[in-house]
Structure 1
């Protein structure tokens, strides 16, 4: 698979994930927010809770599922990114939650979405 195709699939997965979060009643505040520590795929608000969302998109399982890609190191990085986002934006939500949305794109049919709440 070419790099351009991987990037296109990733962008598609992020759009699917953002739409899914909106359907759940969340407000998407930012997508692909970058800073010196890395990138947050989606920043959303779920009531008074700030949600930091990592999106993993897969077209197959030969490299594991999207959820399996979240290692302890990745969770630590997401916590650091969340803290920095709060600092930069000077907000103090009631709570902060880290989620993972895994988007599986099969050869035929629509994407399948799995969401894990409270990662890290």
Structure 2
């Protein structure tokens, strides 16, 4: 596994635990669809949330959330629709969130949760 892949998987584990600690129910992680992958699918109460996780070791390439482009969001919307068609989940609504994880040299990673990214 490449170092960047390992950092990404670490960030996804941190994000999933962050959501569980907040009382969310994580339904799926690293779900593969026809056009890509959903990092996390979870329930925030009765709202289904597709969570895109972006992890960085530094800010040399900008804030992690800046990597979530309009094109990426469109793909996440399509994948979320595909996930819903394959999983009978009753929800009030659906949204997309981004969790930005910044890995620290020492100590805990920094986590920023952006809710309802459009």
Band of TM-score, shorter chain: over 0.9
Alignment-derived partner of residue 14 in structure 2: 16
Query: After the TM superposition, which parts of structure 1 deviate over 3 Å for at least 4 consecutive aligned residues?
Result: none
| Partner residue in 1 for 2:42 | 44
**TM-fit CA distance, 1:91:** 2.8
**Structure 1 position 96 matched with structure 2 position 55:** no
Provide the C-alpha distance between the structure 2 equivalents of 1:106 and 1:91, rounded to a whole number of angstroms.
36
TM-score norm. by structure 1 comes to: 0.93
Scaled by the length of structure 2, the TM-score of the pair is: 0.95
The one of 108, 113, 116 aligned to 2:111: 113
d(CA) in 2 for partners of 1:33 and 1:25?
Answer: 21
Q: Kindly provide the CA deviation profile for residues 27-68 of structure 1, in whole angstroms up to 9, marking residues without a partner as x.
A: 000100001111000000111110100000000111111111
Unaligned runs of 5+ in 1: none
**Cα RMSD (Å) of the superposition?**
1.1
> Separation in 2 of the partners of 1:66 and 1:92?
31
Corresponding pairs, count: 118
